[in-house]
Amino acid sequence: MNTSQVTTTPITTAPVTTTPVTVTVSGAAGRISYSLLFRLASGLVFGPDTPVRLRLLEIPAAVVSAEGVAMEIDDCALPLVASIDVTDDVDAAFDGANAAFLVGAKPRGKGMERADLLTANGAIFREQGRAINSHAADDIRVVVVGNPANTNAYIAHRHAPDVPAGRFTALMRLDHNRALSQLATRLGAPVAELDGVVVWGNHSATQFPDVSYLTRRGEPVTSGLEQEWLAESFIPRVAGRGAEIISVRGLSSAASAAGAAVDQMREWVQGTPGESWTTVALPSEGQYGTVPGVVTGLPCRSRGAEWEVVEGLEIGGFQRARIDASVAELVSERDAVQGLGLTD
Ligand code: NAD
Ligand code: LMR
């Protein structure tokens, strides 16, 4: 299939109250997208009054399967779906895109680390960064899901010099949500009462889920989080959750990843509530001793539809060592992709 053969399904029921947003999803025939696309089409990300034009990008061998997914979206008769395009043409896919979920990539199998996918997946993000730079709308917002997500986002960002760096993010909201859920169970508290979690660093086994600023109903949490439990149970459980899912389910996480991608883009566009923050991986400006340019998990609030890194948090010795270890891994991934010729 090429650009001239893009399959477009115009839907005539969309309301015209708001200008539609054009949303590109790569890997549209895959498992995460099968969960993600229906949530996007339902208005969960851009709001109940905003129609969406969906662009489904796939490799040629999976275009027919993506067309099947598009048929199912049609069959939901969702009023916010303005159109659905299916294509394997990367330039057409990002033409005028306001938002992009870069999901299309190979998942790891049992016994692999996410960084083992760099060679297989890195070139995809070079190509998509270039296409975003040339064709996307000025307000493009990118969430990279395909692994290794941070370094893939770094590659894409490096090939899109005309797009503000902060528009390229990688998905660490899944790690954030995993941390919140583990803490809620430990404390016997509803997730909604907890705030102040951050997952520093890389979406990898070195990530540092940090509870130093945790609050429950606005008050610091002072019991139930003993250092031994944190170091020996909580941190490895959250950091190893992707591998645990693969080992138990036999496949990598999909619905939870899609849910986290929805959370990340929704709060980016619609704002984070009050003074709450979340974890977003984005090109660092050196905050908290991290390395500029490297796509790093940091505490962020969304203000005016842009991510702002929360400043001024105190960092103790235990935190410093954990953050530095994960950032060092990101630097080694950055150097590896440079060695592979994927960046300058
Ligand atoms: P999947 O194998 O079910 O689907 C991947 C899809 O991507 C396939 O349909 C494939 O044809 C497509 N694809 C491959 N190359 C492409 C390209 N160049 N352009 C467009 N599409 C392309 O995999 P999945 O379970 O949906 O996972 C996708 C990725 O997301 C994997 O890399 C996985 O490791 C990663 N992931 C990340 C997180 C996270 O939190 N960051 C969580 C879960 C999974
Ligand atoms: C996850 O964290 O579930 C994903 O990144 C998939 C994986 O490889 O662990």
316 SS3 class = coil
Cα 80 to middle of ligand 2, angstroms: 30
Residues 29 and 155 in one domain: yes
The beta-strand segments (E) located in 123-183 are 141-144, 168-170
CATH number at residue 224: 3.90.110.10
How many Cα atoms sit within 13 Å of 303 on the Cβ side? 9
Residues 150 and 233 in one domain: no
Residue 82 in any domain: the answer is yes
Distance CA 45, CA 95 (A): 20
Choose the final residue of a domain: 111, 145, 170: 170
Residues 52 and 144 in one domain: yes
Burial class of residue 102 (count of CB atoms within 10 Å of its CB; 0-12, 13-18, 19+): buried
For 299-344, write each residue's pLDDT tens digit: 999 999 999 999 999 999 999 999 999 999 999 999 999 989 899 8
Is the distance from the beta carbon of residue 245 to the nearest atom of ligand 2 less than 6 Å? yes
Residue 344 in any domain: the answer is no
Q: What is the pTM of this model?
A: 0.95
Choose the final residue of a domain: 130, 146, 170: 170
Q: Rounded mean pLDDT of the chain?
A: 94
Cα 123 to middle of ligand 1, angstroms: 14
Domain count, the chain: 2
Q: Does the pLDDT value for residue 143 go beyond 50?
A: yes
For 193-242, write each residue's pLDDT tens digit: 999 999 999 999 999 999 999 999 999 998 999 999 999 999 999 999 99
Query: What is the maximum alpha-carbon separation in the chain?
Result: 62
Residues 244 and 302 in one domain: yes
Is the distance from the beta carbon of residue 252 to the nearest atom of ligand 1 less than 6 Å? yes
- Both structure tokens of 61: 């061998």
CATH number at residue 136: 3.40.50.720
How many Å separate Cα 322 from the centre of its chain? 22
Distance CA 226, CA 189 (A): 16
C-alpha distance from residue 113 to each of 52, 125, 240, 275, 321 (Å): 35, 19, 10, 35, 21
Is the distance from the beta carbon of residue 239 to the nearest atom of ligand 1 less than 6 Å? no
Residues 37 and 166 in one domain: yes
C-alpha distance from residue 279 to each of 53, 178, 200, 296 (Å): 28, 12, 8, 10
Is the distance from the beta carbon of residue 57 to the nearest atom of ligand 1 less than 6 Å? yes
- Domain with 71, as residue range(s), is 8-170
Residue 2 in any domain: the answer is no
pLDDT bucket at 10, cuts 50 / 70 / 90:
low
Residues 132 and 261 in one domain: no
Cα 119 to middle of ligand 1, angstroms: 14
The question of whether 203 is a catalytic residue gets the answer yes
Query: Which residue has the CA at smallest separation from atom 4 of ligand 2?
Result: 242
Is the distance from the beta carbon of residue 258 to the nearest atom of ligand 1 less than 6 Å? no
Nearest Cα residue to 269 out of 42, 36, 32, 50: 50
How many Å separate Cα 272 from the centre of its chain? 16
Cα 37 to middle of ligand 2, angstroms: 19
